[in-house]
Chains A and B, each alone.
Chain A
Amino acid sequence: MAAQPSPNRDVPGTSNAASGAAPLLQLTDLQMYFPVTSGVLISRHVGDVRAVDGVSLSIQKGETVGLVGESGCGKSTVGRTILRLYRPTGGRIVFQGQDITTAEGSTLRSVRRRMQMIFQDPYASLNPRMTAAGIVSEPLEIHGVGTGRERRQRVRELLATVGLDPDYGDRFPHEFSGGQRQRIGVARALALHPDLIVADEPISALDVSIQAQIINLLERLQGEFGLTYLFIAHDLSVVRHISDRIAVMYLGRLVETATSRELYERPLHPYSVALLSAVPIPDPTIEGRRRRIILTGDVPSPSNPPPGCHFHTRCWLRARLGNPERCVEEQPALREMASGHAVACHFAEEVEGSPEQVLQISGESSGGSVTATAATAATPPAPPAPTQGSLPAGPSAPQRPVPRPRERS
């Protein structure tokens, strides 16, 4: 499959290829820069936080797409921009066939009826001075739906739908537990029969035993109401569980999109492999044998992202390949490597992702330290360096006898 010449186009593999129907939501090269200014009296524009830097993604009706990546990668900004809480600085958002990139006024209001958001923090996102019924009823009132009586009836239905006692409607948020508060947030999001729900880390603030309750609730509601979800989270095991497809984000860009099964069975971007490899698994036998790929350092600042491939400063694959210049010089396009599986890495052919590689459960005997040390995992002894900048990409790239991460310990 030929690489796209530029990432600034509709990209194959960023949508559910199996379905020919028009997507519910289509993002094309979406860009959201926040200006950085300095100066007290006269503020000068001195740069941008490139929170979202060219994201193309489409979501089919009824699907759940997971968006993962480390914090600060721009996941919430993607969600908030889709809901048009921001006006994008570039690119296009098409929702149900309608270009809403710059929509305003009544058009925007009608769009917002059809899209809702569920937030991470059920403590901060509910008005503490309103009752549960008032909170759930508010969107109905804002949009003038039904009579007072009808609204009260609808609120009772909604509370029951999310598993709350309708008689608790007159209680205030602080009288509910965290999980119950999140249910109130879900009921409010459902009030206007939305088509798309952006759930931004909806379970991250909840107790472990409560998280599964909310995940199961969201899954049930999707079946009942034909909802479409963009599910944002940093926990890959949760995202894998709930999503049909997963988009992996790094510093404002998508680096890989695949079905959740594919992403787990054959991750092709070195960042995805590292993310999967970092997730602890509640099994001491597996953990005891794992040799983790440990990324060095933190995510760089989105106001000054590294050139070329944003990931190159932390990339274990690039290090293994002898630090080719191409990663620094050229932004890798998101290219389709298999049907519905796209990846933005010049050297994705070298990844050979597999559950074995990610879990590192094959080959080695258990015992010893759980992980490779940060130093050895991230900066392995460089193989004989090929001439810089001359590495051909693609399946024809010569096989180098370089050690795989699992062979290091």
Chain B
Amino acid sequence: MHLLSIIDLVVRFRTHDGTVYAVNGVSLDLDEGEKLGLVGESGCGKSVTNLAVMQLLPKPAGKIEGGQVVFQGQDLLSLDESEMRELRGKEIAMIFQDPMTSLNPVLTIEEQMVETIRAHRRVSKSEARARTLELLNTVGIPQPEARLRNFPHQFSGGMRQRVMIAMALALEPKLLIADEPTTALDVTIQAQVLDLLQRLAAEQGTALILITHDLGVVAGMTKRVNVMYAGFVVESASTPDLFARPRHPYTVGLLHSMPRLDAQPGEPLIPIEGVPPDLRRAPVGCPFAPRCAWRVEKCWTAMPPLDPIDATQEIVTTGPNATHRIACWNPVTPEEAVAARPLRAGFAPAAHPTETVS
């Protein structure tokens, strides 16, 4: 049994200017202690997927319209709010890009950490305080004793994220979801925070879902990756496999469009043309088709399933031997992945179907 299974999750937002098709059938499994990266551009449904797991979708607009979320054998979608509250923090914790969204600005760090611990554990105030102190120490807050009485705004961005990590790990959750935890930080502080996350998750055996748009962070922090686009998982593989043999045109595009520190001088960037899709349109066909150099006719009309690259392979969904899967009608070949363009003689991307929508 997996620690977490998301099965065919569909999440939509009903807003006054229409439906937002935010998550369109996402499935993933996660084992205990596993480190999974969720990568993709902003708006592709990374946060919404995880908010759905936590049942923290903004109400009433955001609704889970299909699928299942199974955590430790329990169907989370059947739990009521008080049962979910019990689970949050204790079993599954989440940290966000902006820690201020989850820290209470009018409570001191001591007050909120003690409260969090005592909400889930039968311990005295002084025990909770001692644990708080120990945690602040672990996450590298200088002079933790003095800092206990500070309010969140009295910490720098990096220090605040450390406090968040301390709170998230206070109850030794089985799963930590880190949503762009370092996106707002300088690289130097990012290195501190990622190092801390890595160390603590390893010590506690916590499973990690790391959400980021930075493929460099994914490479260093995770063992498995799901690449998302427009509310779909479009490529899924072990981290080494994904970087060595990317097969989806979007993944290949991402890898070539960011400058690398270790690139050869003068190496050109190959951007992905066009813009990310508007999720207020119901998905028809492959969502990447309008930007894709590999597209064929079928891409305009049918969404490709997330299938193994090698069709004869039995599907393994977790662990280092996870099956490499892509959702693409015309996979990129290894040579094309290096060149970042189709190399087949006479191939041209299928023309836009005669415009019927305006």
Q: B191 touching A235 by the CB < 8 A rule? A: no
The answer, yes or no, to whether A6 is at the interface (CB within 8 Å) is: no
Which residue from chain A places its CB closest to the CB of B218 in the assembled complex?
A282
Interface residue from B158, B187, B198, B218 paired with A275 (Cβ < 8 Å): B187
The answer, yes or no, to whether B260 is at the interface (CB within 8 Å) is: yes
Q: A278 touching B273 by the CB < 8 A rule? A: no
Q: Which residues of B contact A260 (CB under 8 A)?
A: 265
Which residue from chain A places its CB closest to the CB of B263 in the assembled complex?
A241
The answer, yes or no, to whether A3 is at the interface (CB within 8 Å) is: no
Q: Which of A7-15, A87-95, A114-122, A287-295 has 4 or more CB atoms under 8 Å from chain B?
A: A287-295
Q: B220 touching A177 by the CB < 8 A rule? A: no
Q: B187 touching A212 by the CB < 8 A rule? A: no
Interface residue from B253, B271, B275 paired with A216 (Cβ < 8 Å): B271
The answer, yes or no, to whether B306 is at the interface (CB within 8 Å) is: no
Q: Which residues of A contact B268 (CB under 8 A)?
A: 216
- How many chain B residues sit at the interface, stated as a range, is 35 or more
A177 to B42 Cα, complex, angstroms: 12
Q: B198 touching A209 by the CB < 8 A rule? A: no
Q: Which residues of B contact A211 (CB under 8 A)?
A: 257-258, 271
Q: B residues 36-67 with Cβ under 8 Å of A? A: 41-42
Q: B273 touching A213 by the CB < 8 A rule? A: yes
Q: B276 touching A209 by the CB < 8 A rule? A: yes
Q: Which of B73-81, B208-216, B327-335, B348-356 has 4 or more CB atoms under 8 Å from chain A?
A: B208-216
CB distance from B118 to the nearest CB of A (A): 29
Q: A residues 323-376 with Cβ under 8 Å of B? A: 355, 359, 369-375
Q: B219 touching A282 by the CB < 8 A rule? A: yes
Interface size of A by Cβ–Cβ distance < 8 Å? 56
Interface residue from B192, B216, B263, B271 paired with A280 (Cβ < 8 Å): B216
The answer, yes or no, to whether A401 is at the interface (CB within 8 Å) is: no
The answer, yes or no, to whether A286 is at the interface (CB within 8 Å) is: yes
Q: A370 touching B243 by the CB < 8 A rule? A: no
CB distance from B10 to the nearest CB of A (A): 24
Which residue from chain A places its CB closest to the CB of B222 in the assembled complex?
A284
Q: Which residues of A contact B195 (CB under 8 A)?
A: 292, 294, 370-374
The answer, yes or no, to whether A112 is at the interface (CB within 8 Å) is: no
Q: A282 touching B189 by the CB < 8 A rule? A: no
Q: B196 touching A374 by the CB < 8 A rule? A: yes
Q: A287 touching B220 by the CB < 8 A rule? A: yes
The answer, yes or no, to whether A264 is at the interface (CB within 8 Å) is: yes
The answer, yes or no, to whether B343 is at the interface (CB within 8 Å) is: no
CB distance from B150 to the nearest CB of A (A): 15
The answer, yes or no, to whether A283 is at the interface (CB within 8 Å) is: yes
Q: A208 touching B216 by the CB < 8 A rule? A: no
Q: B residues 148-184 with Cβ under 8 Å of A? A: 156, 158-159
Q: Taking A234-B187, A282-B215, A283-B262 as contacts, is the C-beta distance between A212 and B196 under 8 angstroms?
A: no
Q: Taking A208-B213, A284-B220 as contacts, is the C-beta distance between A70 and B186 under 8 angstroms?
A: yes
Q: A residues 240-265 with Cβ under 8 Å of B? A: 240-242, 260-261, 264
CB distance from A367 to the nearest CB of B (A): 13
A286 to B244 Cα, complex, angstroms: 12
The answer, yes or no, to whether B240 is at the interface (CB within 8 Å) is: yes
Q: B residues 242-260 with Cβ under 8 Å of A? A: 243, 253-260
Q: A177 touching B275 by the CB < 8 A rule? A: yes
Chain A window 171-190, contacts with chain B (Cβ cutoff 8 Å), 1 for yes, 0 for no: 00000010110000000000
The answer, yes or no, to whether B188 is at the interface (CB within 8 Å) is: yes
Chain B window 260-286, contacts with chain A (Cβ cutoff 8 Å), 1 for yes, 0 for no: 111101011111110110000000000
The 5 closest A-B pairs by CB, nearest first: A280-B216, A287-B220, A212-B271, A241-B259, A212-B257
